[in-house]
Amino acid sequence: MASAVPAHPVAIITGGARGIGLAVAKRLIHDGARVALWDADGTALDQALGALGTGDGQAMAVSVDVTDERAVIAALRDVGNTLGAPALLVNSAGIAGPTVPVTDYDAAAWRRVIEVNLTGTFLVSKHAASAMVIQGWGRIVNIASLAGKEGTPNAPAYSASKAGVIALTKSMGKELAATGVLVNCIAPAALDTDMVKNMAPAHVDIMVNKSPMGRLGTAEECAELVAWLCSEACSFSTGATFDLSGGRTVY
């Protein structure tokens, strides 16, 4: 029998310094969580922690590259000592990589995108899941992408990495289904964050034009779905991929 959700669960949010990760942190704090923002960008992390405006013991920031397993283990220890064992994990750290045809795609860039988006998600989930299984309750939410279902032209590594995240979610979801730890992912279409702001305007226009709602989504809209997936109300879904696409996704 699974344990009950902690009253003030500890949430690790990778990529928490900006964008979806930061919006998720604000939303989970609203629900009573204590949050650990993890990010490789130390400067942005400090600003993000300040922007949360929380009191002592409610939030912390950890500078960590999610592709470095030793750093991930050390960061988890840091969170455990400061806030307590994590019950929630949101894997939002990610990079888009270059937008170029596959025939021109640099192999080192390919490896880095796979390392950050897929291997990073695996490493943090691997070590955080151990703590959650011991507690008998946990929620892991991976931010995949519509690119992982559709395959985005000129973004082969990004698309492949996100398809990998969807498959990792299915694998872990089935494996942990009876432990009280549920693992789901979200496949958003384009959302209005720095990742999209850094893309060529013509590329963004193509994405908006594909949207039946005719607009980008927001990080806050994504955070609403994450909050539900992190809650006790989400009780019969695991290994699932939830769309967030303004009507664009067709399967």
- Round to whole Å and give the CA distance between 54 and 21: 16
- Residue 188 engages ligand NAD in binding (rule: CB under 6 A): yes
Using CB under 6 A, pick the residue from 125, 193, 238, 245 that binds ligand NAD. 193
Kindly tell me the burial class for residue 50, based on how many C-beta atoms sit within 10 Å of its own C-beta (0-12, 13-18, 19 or more).
Answer: exposed
- Cα dist. 182→70, 85, 90, 124, 239 in Å? 25, 16, 12, 15, 7
- Round to whole Å and give the CA distance between 135 and 23: 26
Options 65-73, 102-110, 169-177, 225-233: segment touching ligand NAD (CB under 6 A): 65-73
Give 66 or 168: the residue with its C-beta nearer to ligand NAD.
66
Options 74-82, 88-96, 127-135, 171-179: segment touching ligand NAD (CB under 6 A): 88-96
Using CB under 6 A, pick the residue from 5, 11, 12, 20 that binds ligand NAD. 20
Give 86 or 120: the residue with its C-beta nearer to ligand NAD.
120
Options 11-19, 101-109, 166-174, 232-240: segment touching ligand NAD (CB under 6 A): 11-19
- Round to whole Å and give the CA distance between 133 and 10: 14
- Residue 156 engages ligand NAD in binding (rule: CB under 6 A): no
- Round to whole Å and give the CA distance between 205 and 217: 13
Q: Which residues contact 47 (CB under 8 A, 6 or more apart)?
A: 17
Letters for 198-237 (x = contact with ligand NAD by CB under 6 A, - = none) are ----------------------------------------
Using CB under 6 A, pick the residue from 12, 25, 44, 225 that binds ligand NAD. 44
- Residue 93 engages ligand NAD in binding (rule: CB under 6 A): yes
Using CB under 6 A, pick the residue from 2, 167, 195, 204 that binds ligand NAD. 195
105 among known catalytic residues: no
Q: Give the 3-state secondary structure percentages of the chain, helix then strand then coil, rounded to 5.
A: 45, 15, 35
Q: Single out the residue of 49, 91, 66, 97 nearest to residue 195, CA to CA.
A: 97
**Which among 38, 122, 158, 242 is annotated as catalytic?**
158
- Residue 92 engages ligand NAD in binding (rule: CB under 6 A): yes
- Round to whole Å and give the CA distance between 84 and 199: 38
Q: How many CB atoms lie within 10 A of CB 203?
A: 14
Site residues (vs ligand NAD, CB under 6 A)? 14-15, 17-21, 39-41, 44, 65-67, 92-95, 116-117, 120, 143, 145, 188, 190-191, 193-196
